[in-house]
Amino acid sequence: MSFFFNEPPLDDDIEMIRAQVRRFVEDVVVPQGEQWEIDGHVPREIFRQMGELGFLGMSVPEDCGGSGLPATAAVMFAEELSRSTFGGFASSVTVHTDMSLAHIVKRGSEAQKQRYMPAACAGEKIGAICVTEPNAGSDVAAVRTRAVRDGNDWVINGSKMFITNGIHGDIFIVAARTNPDARGSRGLSMFIVERDTPGFTIANKLDKHGWRSSDTAELYFDDVRVPADNLIGEEGKGFYYIVGTFQHERLLVGGLCAGQCSKAIELTLDYVKTRKAFGKTLWEQPVVRHKLADLAARAAAARALTYQCARMIENGQDTIIDVSMLKAYAAETLQQVVHGCLQLHGGTGYMTGTPIERMVRDARILTIGGGATEVMLEEVAKRM
């Protein structure tokens, strides 16, 4: 990445995988991405191809069918996926690899791991995380979906909203309240619900401002009966499992932002060095050069913080404050970068279908999803 000067190299194995992922993105994703935007989803075959290349199991332990690579590898992966300029594709894949099935990896029983993870790593089954509801987003404690024990089963009733991979998912990780008398964050549990379970309905495919190549759905649970063995971890610990996974999710947002920032600046550099105005290329105008230099500095800072947080996680350090800062700073920096780059593209950047226009739309959700900027700043403030 040409403007990230003197960046510390990652392990040789991770850099080798970076080159492989980047080649896959350039050769397979970019040529087909426009069609996926129209279709509203990433084809299953792409997941299978990525599974065959070992991309979907990088963060999964070897005994679950993965490679067991550290947090820096997950950041690298998110970074390279987002350089495709198709944010929906990047979100579909990372929700599958790091935000849904991570619950099984971290808290699942051995039987659950053996049943679900090999197929997930192979791209044969697609994962989705079902926490958000019409009245519960960043406020996880407000989840109303209920699960009631009935003999050897749990019976789930409720609904979920804005679920990525909701249309084409196979393995749904569902947050539900198992103790209706518990206050707030207490009494939530996590369950595995398979796609063809009776009573489980994929109700509506949702149309979105951006991330158009990812499928997003509203889901209904009407007396959905799942075996007691489908409970992930301990009953009543779901809130803590969700919050724990949030740290990794927000770290990945840093990677997504870093990749989009770098690609947006690269695209803009290419444009301003050829586009002429007032007898000179735009690049020869100091105001343009200085603007891009400023955006590059902000992007480099966000990326550095991302990898710093990844290394902290690898070292077993508490990263709640750091990752909350990262999520807020990287997502807001991305807004500055892509809007600044669109400005320098002029009217061309405003045309639907151009990469920079698509990146502006796709970037917007990252200040909202995974914890809104305002929530992240409150997480920092209350620990200051």
> Domain segments of the chain: what residues?
12-121, 127-236, 240-381
| pLDDT number for residue 159 | 96
State which fold the 127-236 domain adopts. Answer: Butyryl-CoA Dehydrogenase, subunit A; domain 2 (2.40.110)
The confidence score (pLDDT) of residue 320 equals 92
Alpha-carbon separation of residue 300 from 5, 44, 248, 326 (angstroms): 8, 34, 20, 13
Taking CB atoms within 8 Å and a gap of at least 24, the contacts of 180-183 are 180/146, 182/236
How many angstroms separate the CA atoms of 175 and 156, rounded? 10
Q: Work out the average pLDDT over 226-244.
A: 94
1 pLDDT exceeds 50?
no
| Mean pLDDT, residues 79-91 | 97
91-101 confidence digits (pLDDT tens): 999 999 999 99
**Mean pLDDT of all residues in the chain?**
93
| Confidence at residue 321, expressed as pLDDT on a 0 to 100 scale | 95
Q: What is the pLDDT of residue 137?
A: 66
133 is catalytic: no
CA angle 97, 122, 170 (to 5 degrees): 65
Q: How far apart are the first and last CA of the chain?
A: 35
Strand (E) or helix (H) holding 168: none
Q: Give domain 12-121's CATH architecture.
A: Orthogonal Bundle (1.10)
Report residue 187 as tokens. Answer: 């009494």
- Choosing from 79, 249, 332, 357, which is the catalytic residue? 249
pLDDT for res 274: 93
The whole-number pLDDT of residue 183 equals: 74
Question: Which pLDDT score, from 0 to 100, does residue 184 have?
Answer: 67
Percent of the chain, pLDDT > 70? 97
The CATH homologous superfamily to which domain 240-381 belongs is Butyryl-CoA Dehydrogenase, subunit A, domain 3 (1.20.140.10)
Look at residues 193, 169, 222, 219 and name the one whose alpha carbon lies nearest to residue 47.
169
The residue whose two tokens read 């990088």 is 58
User: How would residue 142 be classed by pLDDT, with cut points 50, 70 and 90?
Assistant: confident
Residue 59: per-residue pLDDT: 87
- Say what the pLDDT of residue 279 is: 85
Q: Which amino acid is at 306?
A: T
Quick one: pLDDT at residue 8? 60
Q: Tell me what pLDDT residue 65 has.
A: 81
Specify the range with the lowest mean pLDDT, choosing from 32-41, 125-134, 174-183, 207-216. Answer: 174-183
Task: Give Cα separations from 331 to 57, 61, 66, 67 (angstroms).
Answer: 26, 29, 29, 29
